[in-house]
Structure 1
Amino acid sequence: MKKFPTLEKLAKAEEKDVLKKWEGLGYYSRAKYLHSFAKELKNKKISFPKKYKELIKYKGIGPYTAAAIASICFHEVIPAIDGNAFRVFSRYFGIYNDITSTTTKNIFRVIVSKIMDFKQPGIFNQAIMDLGSILCTPKNPKCLGCPVKDSCFSIQNETVYKLPVKKIKKFIKHRFFYYLFICDRNKNICINKRSNKDIWKGLYDFPLIESKENLSIYDINDKIWKKFRIVVSNTLMYKIEHKLTHQILSIRFLNCDILQNKNIFLDNFFFIPHNKIDEYPFPRPIILFLKHEKMI
């Protein structure tokens, strides 16, 4: 908010600077959607949309976000139902429908729209969010302190821990990242902007070897030589295990030496002065590595 206090300033900013300020928060697509939203409003010279049906048209704004903005900022009577709200209402009304189902989500919106505060819809929505995050929690809910415990279906029928019903098949993907830390003679560092449709798109990282399994130093060197024509100096600089929503990343940072003065295999990368490293947005594992090496 200090860096981009207005939509105009956010719209004029470079994506790199927006991502840098978002650095460490995760879900970087949110920052990019926010940035593109500001630019679209500025380019089309339109005012900030105030209604749910207007907000939902923009990329990155889903039903919950649109409802939250419309109700909290512009007092539209529309329920903002997030995970906390699903849990609260499932338990309170005794709804056993699968909350991951689109049909169930629509049922919830109809039910809640009939009982919410028409005069203060924003405060109602925020109150439900707080009730779910503070008292009606997934584990160890504080039912005795709940302001609506006397009329709660789950308290009366001892079904608090059975609700909500959420049928999700969790598939955790394990990936192995081997980052190559490469410096030239002037201590410039080799980096790359991630552009593939994958995690951390738009952020920067180092040359990377990815594998589906843990590799020996021999296998790593073989893959690195084939891809970049460089070799690892056999020095493991840093390692970390990074957990994402549906992924576990085992990450190793390796010190590498270039065997050629001009390495054509690194043409897609670029070198930056080591004292400029803190100007680029990096994913959290690389930030931790840079801090470990006292570069930032």
Structure 2
Amino acid sequence: MDFSKKIINWYKKNHRKLPWRETKNPYHILVSEFMLQQTRVSQTIKYYLNFIKKFPSLEKLAQAEEKDVLKKWEGLGYYSRAKYLHSFAKKLKNDKNSFPKKYQELIKYKGIGLYTGAAIASICFHEVIPAIDGNACRVFSRYFGIYNDITSTTTKNMFRIIVSKIIDFKQPGIFNQAIMDLGSILCTPKNPKCLLCPVKDSCFSIKNETVHKLPVKKIKKFIKHRFFYYLFICDRNHNICINKRSTKDIWKGLYDFPLIESKKNLSIHEIKDKIWEKFRVVVSSTLIYKIKHKLTHQILSILFFNCEVLQDFKKNILFNNFFFIPHNKIGEFPFPRPIILFLKHEKMI
């Protein structure tokens, strides 16, 4: 109880002023929690405000087209979050259900994991349940002196059991947010501000000088290298050829250009051969833009080619999944970040 009281008192004086903390609207907090998954707070604020402005309620979100939802998410990354959020809204509308108020009900929906479900249930509905994210794991591994791998599900479950005994029963939402902020402001991964910590007198790591040894995080990184060769194709009326990505891969649901992918770096001659092999068209290709794009477990080397088509290919059966849009409509479609950067380079958006 002493731990909880000190943490909450510190939070009330030092908490971060964030737009989603100015409301108890479950939908607004749901949007913020979805956006905060694997994204920094500083990045999230602008997207959150724009998203809520465009879709101010679950009903408005449920009525929206996926393209428009993804457009408002454009640039934030991890687009499956937007699709799960949209799916949640549509399912509630179709089933004529009210917003679920219990943790066990929330985690039944795709995209709402154990942490997100606990955060919403505790903040909005005062359910006494600990929300264990990366910040919480760091704080508690240092405070209790726990050397178990924090990426392990077993370790996270252990934290949930331990924290359930010290969480504030009257203010569980405030407690969980206090731990989030303590991890973000003071108990940071590097250069933690231990002297300012409200529970420094009882912290295992401060007493034993092990702050920089914890938490233990064993990450196996398998980096996949991919080579993308995009074809920027316009017809005589300056309409642009695009495609909606539908395969189970990165950027599903977003739009891009005709694409050649390779496991190795190709020469211009090899690229032209691949274009013919895949699309059965002859093109005069000029490299106009290149970028290296890093994802969590992938590195994409991307080249963009300006293609002058030397034969009519609109009737080509291999282009059935592609369609042409007027160049002044390009800003209405959601694209992955590398294509956004390309379009900005070409001054098209």
Distance 2:285 2:331 in 1: 27
Distance 1:141 1:248 in 2: 31
C-alpha displacement of 1:85: 0.4
Q: Which moved more, 1:228-237 or 1:144-153?
A: 228-237
Q: The residue matched to 2:165 in structure 1 has which SS?
A: helix
C-alpha displacement of 1:28: 0.6
The 5-angstrom pairing of residues 95-174 of structure 1 reads: 95-174=146-225
Distance 1:66 1:93 in 2: 25
Q: The residue matched to 1:16 in structure 2 has which SS?
A: helix
User: Which residue of 1 is the match for residue 20 of structure 2?
Assistant: none
User: Which residue of 2 is the match for residue 270 of structure 1?
Assistant: 323
Distance 2:289 2:266 in 1: 16
Which of 40, 48, 58 is 1:7 aligned to? 58
- Give 5+ residue unaligned stretches, structure 1: none
Distance 2:285 2:107 in 1: 52
User: Which residue of 2 is the match for residue 67 of structure 1?
Assistant: 118
Displaced runs of 4+ in structure 1, greater than 4 A? none
1:22 alignment partner AA: W
C-alpha displacement of 1:232: 4.6
User: Which residue of 1 is the match for residue 22 of structure 2?
Assistant: none
User: Which residue of 1 is the match for residue 237 of structure 2?
Assistant: 186
What's the CA shift string for 1:212-233, capped at 9, x where partnerless? 1111111111101111123453
Query: Are the counterparts in 2 of residues 98 and 167 from structure 1 also a CA contact under 8 Å?
Result: yes
Q: The residue matched to 2:241 in structure 1 has which SS?
A: strand
Distance 2:347 2:217 in 1: 44
C-alpha displacement of 1:35: 0.3
Which of 206, 214, 239 is 2:290 aligned to? 239
Query: Are the counterparts in 2 of residues 231 and 256 from structure 1 also a CA contact under 8 Å?
Result: no
Matched, 1:77 2:128: yes
Query: Are the counterparts in 1 of residues 143 and 203 from structure 2 also a CA contact under 8 Å?
Result: yes
Matched, 1:197 2:231: no
Q: The residue matched to 1:210 in structure 2 has which SS?
A: strand
Report percent identity of matched pairs: 86
- Give 5+ residue unaligned stretches, structure 2: 1-51
2:336 alignment partner AA: P
Matched, 1:290 2:290: no
Query: Are the counterparts in 2 of residues 229 and 259 from structure 1 also a CA contact under 8 Å?
Result: no
Distance 2:199 2:319 in 1: 62
Distance 1:45 1:234 in 2: 53
The 5-angstrom pairing of residues 251-266 of structure 1 reads: 251-263=302-314, 264=316, 265-266=318-319
